[in-house]
């Protein structure tokens, strides 16, 4: 080949490259799964900033309030998102929350177990439930939608029946006194950065009670867990081999199996993940409230899936992000609390939730088509 033609061809390719680079930069931004949820979060904050900016929603106390709600939802939404990326659903998350709650409360109150052993027991049960869900889905090849729907009823029913059998009631109070001096419970029940709030209060920068102590006393444990989980899940998904396997398992089960990805193990571990996230949710709420309620967590599985979808997860699997799910949870938490600060009737919250999800699904579908069909 002559030198001349070589230079011509290289010139040509460099011109083409420049053109493509411009497109691909925009594409990279547009193709990020969390883009929609990030934009949505910004819009929600702008909206409430205008409508409820002067109501106390954005005071330290108000912010911790909606962050706490978002964080609780976020904990299960992130696990649900990872499972969705892996190509499956878990509809038993909400029931698992109720079940985990009584797994902590009944041994601790009625059987005299130390609280920390009860907590470990609840997590052990979560691993069992998650493993059972996972192995059923993997071995039978049935849709996880059906398998976990069955588990939704089984767990909720068992929770009610067992609790009534042992206690004669459907609620188990009296946990608060057990938290003190327990070697583990503080992990789920301690407000952090109290010194910061005391200092802010002393500087008169945040609202105070009549006795001079700050109204907001510290960052609730849910928020800390939520942030740690978001970082951990993102690291796993983007930076580890296991993360690649999650995307592969959800994107193309057969293909992934053919190149040696242990799809079954990946899916089972993700089901264990959602059950454990539900248990973490239950720990935080049960220790905060001081009582376990058999109906706790009802419909939470759908909110978690909605947050994951708003966060960019495709219902068909193989695509999504943990940060997106975190922003999805932030949107729902902010709106569900923020609506109290506006003149809008709170009945409208569900309408918003549904509309938001619909928009997200349409948007996600568009993104998927861009990614898979542009050639």
Partner 1 sequence: MSDYFVQFNNISKFFGKVIALKDVTMKVKKGEIMCLLGDNGAGKSTLIKTLSGVHKPDEGEIIVEGEKTVFDSPKDALDMGIATVYQDLALVSLMSVTRNFFMGREPQKGIPFFKTFDIEKANKIAADRMGQIGIDVRDPSQAVGTMSGGERQCLAISRAIYFGAKVLILDEPTSALGVHQASVVLKYIVKAASQGLAVILITHNVHHAYPVGNSFTVLNRGKSLGTYSKKDLSREKLLGMMAGGEELDKLEVELKEMDRINKSN
21 binds partner 1 (CB under 8 A): yes
Contact 172, 102 (CB under 8 A): yes
Alpha carbons 302 and 77: distance in angstroms, whole number: 9
Per DSSP, the residues of 197-240 read: HHHHHHTT-S-B-TTSSBSS-SB-HHHHHHHHHHHHHHHHHHHS
Please identify which residue in 58, 171, 252, 315 interacts with partner 1, judged by CB under 8 A.
Answer: 252
CB of 252 to partner 1, least distance (A): 4
Stretch that binds partner 1, among 18-26, 38-46, 92-100, 343-351 (CB under 8 A): 18-26
| Residue 161 CA to its chain's centroid (Å) | 28
CB of 375 to partner 1, least distance (A): 6
Residue 190 Cβ, how far from partner 1 at the closest point, in Å? 26
Q: Lay out the site mask for partner 1 across 77-96 (x = CB under 8 A, - = otherwise).
A: --------------------
Q: Give, rounded to a whole angstrom, the gap between the first and last alpha carbons of the chain.
A: 30
Q: Where are the alpha helices (DSSP H) in the chain?
A: 3-31, 35-52, 60-85, 93-109, 115-140, 144-167, 176-179, 186-189, 194-202, 221-239, 241-251, 253-258, 263-289, 300-310, 322-338, 349-373
Q: Which stretch binds partner 1 (CB under 8 A): 120-128, 247-255, 304-312, 337-345?
A: 247-255
Stretch in the footprint of partner 1 (CB under 8 A) among 67-75, 93-101, 133-141, 252-260: 252-260
Asked if 239 is part of the footprint of partner 1 (rule: CB under 8 A), the reply reads yes
Residue 259 or 299 with smaller CB distance to partner 1: 259
Q: Which of 140, 240, 346, 365 binds partner 1 (CB under 8 A)?
A: 240
Stretch binding partner 1 (CB under 8 A), from 17-25, 90-98, 193-201, 356-364 = 17-25
Say how far apart CA 178 and CA 185 lie, in whole Å: 9
Q: Which of 372, 373, 371, 349 is nearest to 35 (CA)?
A: 371
Question: Which of 35, 344, 361, 371 touches partner 1 (CB under 8 A)?
Answer: 371
What phi and psi, each to the nearest 5 degrees, are found at residue 292? -105, 135
Q: How far is the CB of 275 from partner 1 (least distance, A)?
A: 22
- Choosing from 6, 17, 49, 124, the residue that interacts with partner 1 (CB under 8 A) is 17
Ranges within 314-343 binding partner 1 (CB under 8 A): 314, 318-319
Which residue among 177, 258, 343, 351 contacts partner 1 (CB under 8 A)?
Answer: 258
Nearest to 155 by CA among 134, 126, 182: 126
Give the Å distances, CA to CA, from 228 to 126, 222, 322, 365: 20, 10, 12, 30
The answer to the question of residue 259 lying near partner 1 (CB under 8 A) is yes
Interface residues with partner 1 (CB under 8 A) are 13, 17, 20-21, 24, 28, 31, 239-241, 243-245, 247-248, 251-252, 254-256, 258-261, 314, 318-319, 368, 371-375
């Amino acid at each position: 080949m002559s030198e001349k033609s070589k230079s011509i061809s290289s010139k040509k390719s460099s011109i083409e490259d420049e053109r493509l680079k411009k497109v691909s930069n925009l594409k990279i931004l547009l193709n990020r799964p969390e883009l929609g949820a990030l934009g949505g979060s910004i819009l929600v904050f702008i909206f409430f900033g205008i409508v409820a900016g002067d109501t106390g929603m954005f005071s330290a106390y108000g912010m911790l309030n909606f962050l706490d709600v978002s964080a609780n939802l976020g904990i299960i939404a992130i696990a649900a998102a990872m499972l969705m990326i892996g190509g499956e659903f878990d509809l038993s998350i909400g029931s698992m929350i109720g079940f985990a709650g009584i797994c902590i409360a009944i041994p601790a109150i009625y059987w005299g177990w130390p609280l920390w052993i009860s907590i470990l027991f609840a997590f052990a049960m979560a691993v069992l439930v998650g493993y059972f869900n996972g192995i059923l889905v993997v071995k039978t090849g049935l849709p996880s939608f059906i398998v976990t729907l069955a588990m939704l009823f089984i767990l909720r029913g068992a929770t009610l029946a067992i609790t009534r059998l042992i206690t004669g009631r459907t609620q188990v109070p009296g946990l608060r006194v057990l938290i003190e001096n327990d070697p583990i419970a503080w992990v789920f029940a301690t407000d952090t950065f109290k010194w910061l709030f005391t200092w802010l209060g002393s500087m008169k920068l945040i609202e105070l009670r009549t006795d001079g102590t700050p109204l907001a006393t510290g960052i609730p444990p849910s928020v800390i867990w939520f942030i740690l989980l978001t970082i951990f899940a993102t690291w796993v998904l983007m930076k580890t081999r296991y993360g690649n396997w999650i995307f592969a398992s959800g994107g193309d089960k057969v293909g992934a199996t053919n190149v040696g990805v242990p799809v079954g193990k990946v899916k089972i571990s993700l089901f264990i993940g959602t059950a454990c996230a539900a248990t973490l949710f239950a720990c935080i709420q049960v220790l905060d409230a001081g009582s376990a309620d058999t109906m706790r967590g009802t419909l939470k599985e759908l909110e978690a899936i909605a947050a994951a979808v708003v966060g960019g997860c495709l219902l068909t699997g193989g695509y999504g992000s943990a940060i997106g799910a975190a922003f999805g949870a932030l949107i729902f938490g902010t709106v569900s609390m923020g609506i109290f600060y506006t003149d809008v009737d709170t009945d409208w919250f569900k309408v918003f939730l549904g509309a938001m999800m619909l928009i997200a699904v349409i948007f996600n579908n568009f993104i998927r088509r861009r990614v898979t069909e542009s050639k």
